[in-house]
Amino acid sequence: MRKIVRHAAIMLVTVAGVVALASLLGCNSEPTPSGSFQVERVFPGLSFQEMTNLVQPNDTSGLIFVTEQGGVIHTFSVNNSQQADIFLDITDRVNREGDEEGLLGLAFGPDYEENGYFYVYYSAADPRRSVISRFSLDQENPDVADPESEVIVMEVAQPYSNHNAGQLAFGPEGYLYIGLGDGGSGGDPLGNAQNLSTVLGSILRIDVSGLSAPGDYEIPADNPFVGAEGAREEIWAYGLRNPWRFSFDPETGLLWAGDVGQNLWEEVDIITKGANYGWNVMEGFHCYSPSTGCDQSGLTLPLVEYDHSQGCSVTGGYVYRGDQIASLQGHYIYGDYCSGNIWALLYDGNVVTENTLLVDSNLSITSFGVDLARNLYILDRQGGIYTLVQAE
């Protein structure tokens, strides 16, 4: 049985099985996951192609939005989940040449109900690049988006077709966070993740509240590299390989991310201001370049890692704040695309106190999502939407 090194501690935490350190240490009041779990399909009348996001905006529509990698956003109502409607189709401008390219991110602005603004991240071609854009609702039919309303926020040149990342999320302070991989190929051959003069291999933080023209975003004054010579001031954190899904805990404000590894190690991080997460010096807790004796000074190590006997591509998830499964309260739920394993991780603000394998779902987990009630959803590449339930 593999073991995972706890962050900032010598003690080891096993992935499989519940590790009830909270009661031993007296440092955590959250419950321990109890019983066995399984995945259950929800909205069985619906199926989508290569889902990448599930989002419910903070409005009164009751609609859930699902993105397909090919370039379509669908909507459906929880109360009428037998039919999905097309909300936006931008397949004419989305590049799907690479397996990791396509429509990858979706976030609704804090004032979406008032102004109808939402943001997408997609891959484009000729030249190969990532595009972050704002769209708005159709003035004549507010049930759909206007594909001609696009205002490009940012374009980032991509040297290769993989490691696009693509997550978008608004933070508690109303700024837009953007995930970008290291530019692709293998091993970060261009050294992007450790280079502050490029936004590749980073999570960015920008202010789009005053956007009125392409590229007309602002950089928050408290971003960590504002005024740093040669650095891109949009960067919030760097040293990431391919942060495939990040999310904010609505109660603590912590920013959680899964960062996909190279050949051996997958990792989960909490993203903090100005931190360097080590790629390509490190892969997980281990030296990558050089393979031994690497300089770890100034690097932020993961909370946990797992090796490729348990999966091959981490999919970041969400801290569970729903009311359906009390024992998962406060646990970060994440999974693996290849194995379908789903774990629950508990962090007390200093160390990981639990990292429990909940279920081998046999799903190809492309993403997780939550609705306004904080119910958790799991997206399967084969087309179905699932949730976690306790087995009877």
| pLDDT value at residue 32 | 73
Task: Identify the pLDDT of residue 33.
Answer: 78
Residue 118's alpha-carbon distances to 207, 234, 257, 261, 304, in angstroms, are: 14, 20, 22, 30, 33
pLDDT of residue 80: 76
Tell me what pLDDT residue 69 has. Answer: 98
SS3 327: helix
Residue 49, classed as helix, strand or coil, is coil
pLDDT at 9: 30
Residues of the chain with pLDDT under 50: 1-28
Copy the structure tokens of residue 155.
């374009």
Dihedral angle sign, alpha carbons of residues 364, 369, 167, 103? positive
* Predicted model pTM: 0.92
Query: d(Cα 291, Cα 361) in Å, to the nearest integer?
Result: 33
pLDDT given at position 82: 84
Whether omega before 280 lies within 30 degrees of 0, making that bond cis, reads yes
- Are the CB atoms for 93 and 122 separated by under 8 Å? yes
Coil vs helix vs strand at 328: helix
Contact by Cβ (8 Å): 314, 355:
no
pLDDT at 30: 64
pLDDT at 34: 64
Count other C-beta atoms under 10 Å from residue 323's C-beta: 10
Dihedral sign, Cα of residue 272, residue 290, residue 258, residue 305: negative
Cβ pair 67, 91 in contact under 8 A: no
**What pLDDT, on the 0 to 100 scale, is given for residue 22?**
32
- Indicate the CATH number of 42-323+358-390 among 3.20.20.70, 2.120.10.30, 3.40.1190.20, 1.20.58.60: 2.120.10.30
Burial 226-259 (b: 16+ CB within 10 A, else e): eeeeebbbbbbbbbbbbbbbbbbbeeeeebbbbb
Quote the CA–CA distance of 385 and 160 in Å, as a whole number. Answer: 30
Q: Which long-range contacts (CB under 8 A, 24 or more apart) does 65-69 make?
A: 65/106, 65/108, 66/379, 66/385, 67/103, 67/104, 67/105, 67/106, 67/120, 68/103, 69/96, 69/102, 69/103, 69/104
pLDDT tens-digit readout, 156-182 = 999 999 999 999 999 999 999 999 999
| Spatial contact of 345 and 353, defined as CB atoms under 8 Å apart | no
* Residue 143 · residue 164 · CB < 8 Å: no
Digit-coded pLDDT (tens) for 30-45 = 677 766 999 999 999 9
Express each pLDDT in 310-364 by its tens digit.
999 999 999 999 999 999 999 999 999 999 999 999 999 889 999 999 999 999 9
The pLDDT of residue 180:
98
Which residues does residue 88 pair with via DSSP β-bridges, in sequence order?
73
Give residues with Cβ within 8 angstroms of 137, minimum separation 6.
116, 144, 145, 146, 149
Closest C-alpha to 62, from 143, 170, 145: 143
Within 13 Å and on the Cβ side, how many CA atoms surround 42? 20
